[in-house]
Structure 1
Amino acid sequence: MKDHSVPELIALSLQGDEDDETAWEAIRELHDRGGDEVFEAAVRLLHSASSRERGRGTDILAQLGGRKRSDALMAKCADEILSALATEQDADVLGSMGVALGHLWDARAVPALQPLKDHPDEDVRMGVVMGMMHHRDPVAIQTLIELSRDSDEDVRNWATFSLGSQAEDVDTPELRDALFDRLTESNIELRGEALVGLALRKDPRVLEPLRRELESSEVIVLAVEAAQALEDLSLLPLLHGLRDPPGKADSYFRSVLAEAISHLESLA
């Protein structure tokens, strides 16, 4: 991709479907290349009559400059996306704009995205979660609490993750209750995110649900992480019992388990 010109990379970014790998390789090259030419090309796409082009312009601006991007460049990209967001109607583009604002860490995303939390398209609501997950002001937290009860499982999962471990420094009764409500989910990962969030806040209600997860036939890493965070020594025998379970645990699970056991044993 490094041998392609900016116009050639823009053309490649518009090929195929949303997940086309060649298109995303071109977008990543545009991110890393940065510069005024790429910025101006992305802004032109952002104001195109084609929703496809507006979405790709958003994707390019989302991480323009790559790992070396400056705060000033991030604010400049956010300016363009926020301006376009005010009049955008296409659900796919709105979802991309939410994700982009999440990459740009701009606090203006919170009031801009909050009105979209009840949008009928789940991808738009997912974009709201992504755009707000790094922010800690009350509006962002309240919006994430509401989206943790969303009708779409993926939206609930990401909102629960955002509240549970990403917003560890925020602790309110309403947030804890939102996490507790997710412990009845059928999705084991979603339950795990809620377990971790409650354990980090040392909520005593999590002990028995966590014990049941550790005693179940399928134990995931999140449950082990929650046991470490809760720091309740009564869970040590259950963790010991997971060291040599039937079947094969991967190396990552075993390393997390070993760390949890070591941590709890150090508290004894």
Structure 2
Amino acid sequence: MDSSNNYWENFKSESISTQQIIQLACCEENQETYWDYVLILRMRGSNEELVEASKLCQSQSPKKRSLGVDILGELGIPQRTFLTQCGDILLNLLSNESDSNVLASIGFAFGHLNDARSVEPLVKLKNHPNVDVRMGVVSGLMSQSDELAIQALIDLSSDENEDIRNWATFSLGSQIETDTPAIRDALLTRIILETSEDETIAEIRGEALLGLALRKDERVISPLIAELESDCVGRLAVEAAKEIGDAKLYPALIKLQQWWDLDIKLLEEAISNCNSNSSI
């Protein structure tokens, strides 16, 4: 899409109809431009966009159904509109949908809607063979504190796909405040099993460290010291040290000052928290 302000404003205005933009989006192959169209429709956010998106969700075309879902997921942004109605339409679609792309879109849409009614139908898809669908499930269940949602996220934290493990661990670790032995054990398992220095694997381990630290679980101390003393220390490990504030981490943090410069203020806060708990 042309990035000029006049072109953009023209599309946001009523001079180009919602149906025209939908037709353009349906034919668009470039993903960036497609999402530009979706954003415009979301921002308009009126009853017209709700009705047209609902019609798309009833289409025989999976691409059109996905477009309808994408619009409904954040209809009205930044001032959300028709939240309940959007959830109703998506729940109805989810009950009969079989296309993987549409199922994935529904999961991501519910991640934006934060509709607790989606938990049970999404959980049924946690073992779906398509990775995008399972990622959508993680997104849809993120921030849900329902016991069923949490157990599904625990299961997905050991998924064969590392990106799914990453987002599921992030969801369990810091996106909910629920604290159970099952959550703690799932986080500890990720710390134990995610051992490589690959960027995504290291991030999974960091999210798990932070999740245990937030819950003040002392089992995090030994692996956190090892992480802080390694050659590749991520921001999450330092944040975990700050959160748990244990004096046993203090020496490793002081050594880290010699070279770690990703977030100097965070490191200073971690040192302060761990030093304040020291009996020295």
| TM-score (norm: length of structure 2) | 0.88
- The Cα offsets for residues 213-249 of structure 1, whole Å up to 9 and x where unpaired, read as 1011110000001111111112122222222317xx3
- 2:194 aligned with 1:204, yes or no? no
Q: Residue 190 and residue 47 in structure 1: after superposition, are their counterparts in 2 closer, same or farther (change >3 A)? A: same
One-letter amino acid of the counterpart of residue 254, structure 1: I
- The residue aligned with 2:52 is 41
Q: Does residue 1:214 correspond to 2:224, yes or no?
A: no
Please point out which of 100, 105, 108 is paired with 1:99: 108
State the alpha-carbon separation in 1 of the partners of residues 222 and 236 from structure 2: 15
1:15 shift after superposition? 4.1
Q: 1:153-188, CA deviations, whole angstroms, 9 ceiling, x for partnerless residues?
A: 111111111001111x21111111111110121310
Pick aligned residue for 2:180 from 153, 159, 172: 172
What is the total number of aligned residue pairs between the two structures?
A: 260
Give per-residue Cα distances to partners, 1:40-87, cap 9 Å, x unaligned.
1111111111111111110100000102114xx111101001100111
Deviations 1:112-134 (A, max 9, x none): 11111111111111111111112
Q: 1:263 aligns with which of 273, 276, 279?
A: 273
Map residues 98-137 of structure 1 onto 2, 5 A cutoff: 98-137=107-146
2:128 aligns to what SS in structure 1? coil
Q: For 1:200 and 1:15, locate their aligned partners in 2 and report how far apart those are by CA, in whole Å.
A: 47
Instruction: Note if contact 1:148-1:160 (Cα within 8 Å) is conserved in structure 2.
Output: yes
Is 1:144 matched up with 2:158? no
3-state secondary structure, aligned to 1:149? coil
Separation of aligned partners in 2, 1:152 and 1:3: 42
Structure 1 ranges of 4+ moved more than 6 A: none
Which AA in structure 2 matches 1:143?
Answer: A
2:203 matched residue in structure 1: 189
The yes-or-no answer on 1:9 pairing with 2:21 is yes
- The counterpart of 2:34, out of the listed 23, 45, 50, is 23
Task: Identify the residue that residue 161 of structure 1 maps to in structure 2.
Answer: 170
Task: Choose the corresponding residue for 1:223, options 220, 224, 237.
Answer: 237
AA at the equivalent of 1:87: N
Letter aligned with residue 8 of structure 1: Q
Note the aligned Cα RMSD (angstroms). Answer: 1.6
Separation of aligned partners in 2, 1:85 and 1:222: 36
In structure 2, runs of 5+ residues without a counterpart are 1-7
Task: Judge conservation of contact 1:161–1:194 (CA < 8 Å) in 2.
Answer: yes
Q: Which one of the candidate residues 74, 84, 93 is aligned to 1:75? A: 84
- SS of match in other structure, 2:127: coil
Contact kept, 8 Å, 1:171 with 1:201, in 2: the verdict is: yes
Cα shift at 1:266: 4.1
Structure 1 gaps of 5+ residues are none
Contact 1:214–1:239 (CA under 8 A) maintained in structure 2: yes
| 8 Å CA contact 2:25, 2:38 repeated in 1 | yes
What does residue 247 of structure 2 align with? 233
Instruction: Write the distance in 2 (CA, Å) between the matches of 1:151 and 1:115.
Output: 18
2:71 to 47, 60, 63: 60
Displacement after TM superposition at 1:8 (Å): 2.9
